[in-house]
Structure 1
Amino acid sequence: MSNKVAIPTEGGLLCAHFGHCESFYMADIENGVIVNEAIIVPPAHEPGLYPAWVGSHGVKIVIAGGMGEKAKELFRKEGIEVFVGAVSKAPRELVEDFIHNSLVTGSNSCNHK
């Protein structure tokens, strides 16, 4: 089984607010192993832009700290599963947690629509 995961980052860690990230960490997972990693700088943020842009990279899973309801809805329309409320740590650690079914998520740190 293969998947591609994206995590919004700032300063090398998970960014608390999805739309304010400076880059995206993207990882390809095959058979429970990270086989490729990249840090990609997104285009300038505009409401509604990132879900389609992330989807254009083949991403199927997004792990975020906080994300507005509209963004979550747009990701669902792209066929991308979203996990919000993740703790701020290195993105590779978050992907490893996801692979091992130990990803901890809590409340969405973003409360706007």
Structure 2
Amino acid sequence: MKIAVTYENGQVFQHFGHCENFKIYDVNDGMITDSQVVSAAGSGHGALAGFLKDRGVDTLICGGIGGGARAALGENGIEFYPGVTGDADQNVTALLAGKLYFNPDTMCSHHHEEGHNCGNHSCGEEKHGCAGNQ
């Protein structure tokens, strides 16, 4: 099993489509055997599901995520847990223990707001519906 986490400075990054790094964990018999941070810079919204699939990822932990990304992950057979915040390593451990707190209804919807421009915020911040507290 391979679990990917949207990743920035040890934390779950809060905007899947703008994620530049993923931390990917190799899991055998319910235990983490290895992990590495990989760059996804330049992949963009539409290509990130394929990027993860190409690396053998079958599970994703993330913050905010839009409908198109949800569909792409599903098409690539990647199970995902949105609406997660906090420490990446602790959240993977929680998932493996069956204790991960996530919100399956978390949507990243700020792209539909009139006048919103993604270039006007730091995507590591909680903002406009991307942090899972809607």
> Which structure has the larger Rg?
2
Which range is displaced more, 69-78 or 14-23?
Answer: 14-23
CA contact (8 A) 2:18 2:44 kept: no
Find the aligned partners of 1:39 and 1:25 in 2 and give their Cα distance.
4
In the TM superposition, 1:1-113 aligns within 5 A as 3-87=1-85, 89-106=86-103, 107-108=105-106, 110-111=108-109, 112=111
2:131 match: none
After TM superposition, give the deviation of residue 109 of structure 1 in Å: 5.1
- What is the identity, as a one-letter code, of the residue corresponding to 1:98? L
Which portions of structure 1, spanning 4 or more consecutive aligned residues, are displaced by more than 4 angstroms? Answer: none
- The count of aligned residue pairs is 110
- What is the identity, as a one-letter code, of the residue corresponding to 1:95? V
Find the aligned partners of 1:34 and 1:72 in 2 and give their Cα distance.
25
User: 1 or 2, which has the higher strand percentage?
Assistant: 1
Which range is displaced more, 12-21 or 32-41?
Answer: 12-21
After TM superposition, give the deviation of residue 43 of structure 1 in Å: 3.3
Residue ranges of structure 1 left out of the alignment (5+ in a row):
none
> Taking every aligned residue pair, what percent have the same amino acid on both sides?
27
CA contact (8 A) 2:15 2:64 kept: yes
The Cα RMSD (Å) is 1.5
Find the aligned partners of 1:109 and 1:80 in 2 and give their Cα distance.
17
